[in-house]
Structure 1
């Protein structure tokens, strides 16, 4: 009953359900009319005075960040700079808090019949922080920053499909692709791809000048970023705070304490082990949002012993996912199947059998690899995700029954993304959900992708990736994406055990609408969308 009340109260406060639905749901669960009336009154009282208003310094504690952070959007690697980037920058398109695609700097767009040529009409009257007006040349230069053989941007592979970008006057951009892509407008909402002011066809990617709701003020990498409200922001219903402080607080205990004592107004990545204690604080709201976020244990498929798919399959069968769901996520998520497509995706393959914990089958695959036992290092740090170290320790216990000895190497949180991830042969990671299957596959599993953390190169997968992207027949696309999920499940280098809800703590002094589920912290747009109630 307690959880039901919390869920219904949050739904009523956020406007996802009305008072009548609240009352009927409470009474259907056994509450008396008086009890239902009391709780609905409290919930409605929480919304009084919560309409958006300007002012205040919003402090957000984030469990990521590094001393190597840069304003270059091509280097954004975690929620910290992704959130900072969304506060200062604007993008061609935006995934809304209800999951639809909307125009941001692009007022409209249209494609050729084969989806190979896309024309974006820009919004007029948008001004960068340096006073420059938004023009089509800025879009061209911003996208070209990530393109070409010399680019170090993580978005390089995402834009590899672009053959040409050109302007048609000051307010129109025409993008030609090497193949059809019906999902291309979604792609340009990626957090790596903000529009920056250009000069002579180039952008200064590290100066932090954008056309977003806030203007860069102070930047101390790995510690703190301060931004101040942009008085010329073109969105009238966004950018409510006078200023926003993004604080790197890697330790979840320190983050929780800061939220509980009022030093910060919101935090991401709540400690699920102690969430029940945090819920007792009536001054706080716990937001658990289901999305495509997933935890991953990527194996470098070019490094022994992970070159042998039998070893990879043995490890995939040696993990008890259902136990992890309850122990690590405390039910805030769902079991995954070694691919990144959750049940909420349009082309989710519901017919693919769910992998189960099976030590005997793990032993079978070891035998196929010519092994009777296996000892392997797994690098872990809670910088990867909250509970990563505990996950590794539990995996060690599960795998032991299959004759697999996992040596858990506890890595420091600071510098994890620079020194461990994609450097060590087996490590831990998390990914936010992407709006489309093509995006989820292209960013991490396609040949040549900058963030192909498993260094996987599967000819059939790569061929299907290109075919499905340009296929306009929905039935054929579904079949191809379904096959790709199976290839990742049975041949890929990533163990993906769980889809994890985004679980954030928010002061009840903060107002917000329905929270977006495409990324943590309201689709990374907490600074722009939230306000002091």
Structure 2
């Protein structure tokens, strides 16, 4: 077996969860990237605004936006509103750095369990109410309330107490050390909790745009907030519309009826490569990854050798080309982190396409010629899963193992394995995760009770906690290598590649960008001068 040891020290790039198959099981639902810890980071970079200001753009997506509460988002497309209508204490930039947003600076205690944030002065909600430390405490109390069904719950679980110190200081007490805490809360948006009852009619945030009109699951019209605390929004208006027909949406982009199209089907992206009228928007570091889940507590996949066998039987190159139309990066070590991720490293074994190795490992795990496994997919959705299943099916057939493809309505598909703790013996369940490239908020998917694969490794849990608690970046990188070695050896699930979520814009638009998981940023978008 070939082994590789790689540790990358490049800059961390941005990401957040993008598309989720169903709320809570399609991704971590969290944002987070590396940050300068305990340095009181203030100032920082911003994406350059377009040369001109004013005007309006129309942005299309196959999904609609059903509701406007950022705490309980249902679908990935709702996240387009996050930097437009709201701000957090911290935010992720286009380069992947985490910098202050509503906070002016922060600092951590030596044990990384007490974090103190100082707020910007003069910030007001859209209705003119001042944003104070008490406002922020109210928001975190709401997000951490057990009755609030937020996808941020996993990230906020370490918070023991949040208190206001005067009007401009917020103090967080954590149950466990977290040297990356500012990265954990970028998706906690500061809203006026007093207006929760009317949030779908007139959400009250602090962002550069306000909601002027909202038709659930159809459209949202945003207008510039003239009292925004930062640089004025470049555009007068942004209209977000649902475009259910992919072909019609692509034609609308070509004609100029749409200025931006989010999450274009990979099969359509190739036609725009090199196009001067339409520019593809791709993350520099893709961090949406297919995750084929197997029940690690039921035979045959309770034996790591059976899971390793599937890894060797996975023709990653064929899947990337046929199922994802080349839009992505191979994952040769079965890693959720891309090979050019700054945190990628450790003594990692590659899993090349090797059916003889797969056959031997299957036999050692008690799976032999004539045995049957099930591919538990979805009907009428996720065509890349169908193609991936067919490629794996053909590979396993070569070594005498039958893979029966069973496609189901989405709710039936999810009910088989979600939430974590359900038994699904003999099944391979295709899914995907949209996570940041920061390992604390991508590899946390493997924690006990989080991954539907039911993997439980005290060794991994201890290594993960040690990495999260380490304030020194170089030492933390070494610890992340150890975490990846455990995952690499145990193969809790199959990661064939990192998929690229491709969006597109017309040539007259500038300033838009996407994170690794596909989240579209329009806060600096405008019409090119």
TM-score, structure 2 as length reference: 0.79
Q: 1:90 to 1:78 in 2, by over 3 A?
A: same
Match of 2:177 among 172, 177, 180: 180
Count of residues in correspondence between the two structures: 468
Question: Is residue 405 from structure 1 mapped to residue 406 from structure 2 by the alignment?
Answer: no
Aligned to 2:150: 153
Shift of 1:530: 0.6
- Output one character per residue of 1:382-440: Cα deviation in whole Å (capped at 9) or x when no partner: 855x7343333323323332334333344568x79977883695543333341521121
Aligned to 2:20: none
Which of the pair is proportionally richer in helix?
A: 1
**How many angstroms apart in 1 are the aligned matches of 2:257 and 2:472?**
53
Q: 1:104 to 1:472 in 2, by over 3 A?
A: closer
Aligned to 1:430: 432
Aligned to 1:89: 86
Query: What secondary structure is seen at the aligned counterpart in 2 of 1:125?
Result: coil
Q: 1:421 to 1:370 in 2, by over 3 A?
A: closer
Shift of 1:176: 1.4
Query: What secondary structure is seen at the aligned counterpart in 1 of 2:443?
Result: helix
Shift of 1:60: 1.6
**How many angstroms apart in 2 are the aligned matches of 1:245 and 1:125?**
29
- Higher relative CO (Cα under 8 Å, sequence separation at least 6) belongs to 2
What does 1:407-486 align with in structure 2 at a 5 Å threshold? 407-411=404-408, 422=418, 426-442=428-444, 444-449=445-450, 452-474=451-473, 476-486=475-485
Shift of 1:163: 1.6
Query: What secondary structure is seen at the aligned counterpart in 1 of 2:155?
Result: coil
Aligned to 1:210: 205
- Output one character per residue of 1:134-192: Cα deviation in whole Å (capped at 9) or x when no partner: 11122212222232554432211211111211000111101111232221111111x3x
**How many angstroms apart in 1 are the aligned matches of 2:216 and 2:297?**
33
**How many angstroms apart in 1 are the aligned matches of 2:246 and 2:291?**
21
**How many angstroms apart in 2 are the aligned matches of 1:356 and 1:335?**
11
Question: Is residue 133 from structure 1 mapped to residue 130 from structure 2 by the alignment?
Answer: yes
**How many angstroms apart in 1 are the aligned matches of 2:208 and 2:414?**
30
Shift of 1:106: 0.7
Contact 1:292 1:340 in 2 (8 A): no
Match of 2:218 among 217, 223, 235: 223
Shift of 1:471: 2.2
TM-score, structure 1 as length reference: 0.79
Contact 2:124 2:206 in 1 (8 A): yes
Question: What runs of 5+ residues in structure 2 fail to find an aligned partner?
Answer: 1-48
**How many angstroms apart in 2 are the aligned matches of 1:136 and 1:448?**
33
Q: 1:334 to 1:316 in 2, by over 3 A?
A: same
CA RMSD of superposed structures (Å):
3.1
- Output one character per residue of 1:266-299: Cα deviation in whole Å (capped at 9) or x when no partner: 1133333343423475321123332142322342
Q: 1:174 to 1:353 in 2, by over 3 A?
A: same
Shift of 1:308: 4.3
Question: Is residue 295 from structure 1 mapped to residue 296 from structure 2 by the alignment?
Answer: no
Contact 2:50 2:234 in 1 (8 A): no
Q: 1:404 to 1:509 in 2, by over 3 A?
A: farther
Question: Is residue 263 from structure 1 mapped to residue 262 from structure 2 by the alignment?
Answer: no
Aligned to 1:338: 334
Q: 1:435 to 1:93 in 2, by over 3 A?
A: farther
Shift of 1:84: 2.3
Query: What secondary structure is seen at the aligned counterpart in 1 of 2:448?
Result: coil
Aligned to 1:18: none
What does 1:267-416 align with in structure 2 at a 5 Å threshold? 267-279=261-273, 281-299=275-293, 301=295, 304-305=298-299, 306-336=301-331, 337-349=333-345, 351-372=347-368, 373-380=371-378, 387-411=384-408
Question: Is residue 142 from structure 1 mapped to residue 156 from structure 2 by the alignment?
Answer: no
Shift of 1:85: 3.0
**How many angstroms apart in 1 are the aligned matches of 2:452 and 2:242?**
25
**How many angstroms apart in 2 are the aligned matches of 1:115 and 1:249?**
46
Q: 1:361 to 1:220 in 2, by over 3 A?
A: farther
Question: What runs of 5+ residues in structure 1 fail to find an aligned partner?
Answer: 1-48
Greater CA drift, 284-293 or 164-173: 284-293
Aligned to 1:501: 500
Aligned to 2:234: 240
Greater CA drift, 116-125 or 145-154: 145-154
- Output one character per residue of 1:59-83: Cα deviation in whole Å (capped at 9) or x when no partner: 22224457xx433334335430111
- Output one character per residue of 1:196-242: Cα deviation in whole Å (capped at 9) or x when no partner: 1134xx965954321112222343443333333222222214x3222
Contact 1:61 1:246 in 2 (8 A): yes
